[in-house]
Amino acid sequence: MAIDLQQISKRFRFYTNLQELEMQDLKSITGSDEETLDCLLNGCNMPMDELVAIIKHFHDLNPQWLIYGEGSMFKPMDENGNCQEGQKGHLKKDKAAYLKQMQNMLIELDAAEVAKGHKPDVEALKAKLDEYKATH
């Protein structure tokens, strides 16, 4: 299966927006420079070893989903049922605006995945967003 850097970029932007990670956070987490992170966020050509070196710092991110669009965005919970490292329990942003932004990104991501012939797990993500809206 070929790797599509544009798709990886869209999925990584979706993940970082969901986690509310800004460029400064990404630089701090990965130790990478802004130029390299910009390249990843914008779908520029980059060596696979650089991509792997960056994504290994996100312990809850499923690399299979990021690279191929397969499976869930997050790795499963651990055997104790605890959230993986890096997942945040609160929003720093206005909830309504944040949820609207995430819904728009889901639509964009879903359209990109469908255009590539992938069967994304976007419906499950939409259900989680709806569940979150209902409880908060």
Q: pLDDT of the chain along its 136 residues, tens only?
A: 567 888 999 999 999 998 989 999 999 999 999 999 999 999 998 888 898 999 999 988 999 889 888 888 888 766 555 544 444 444 455 666 766 777 777 777 777 777 766 555 666 677 777 887 787 7
Q: Going by C-beta distance under 8 Å and a sequence separation of 6 or more, which residues neighbour residue 86?
A: 19, 58, 59, 60, 61
pLDDT at 120: 54
Handedness of CA 77, 17, 109, 128 (dihedral sign): positive
The two structure tokens encoding residue 89: 């329990």
Q: How many helices (H) and strands (E) does the chain have?
A: 7, 0
Q: What is the pTM of this model?
A: 0.62
The two structure tokens encoding residue 45: 């050509």
pLDDT at 84: 47
Domain that holds residue 99: 5-135
Q: How many folded domains does the chain comprise?
A: 1
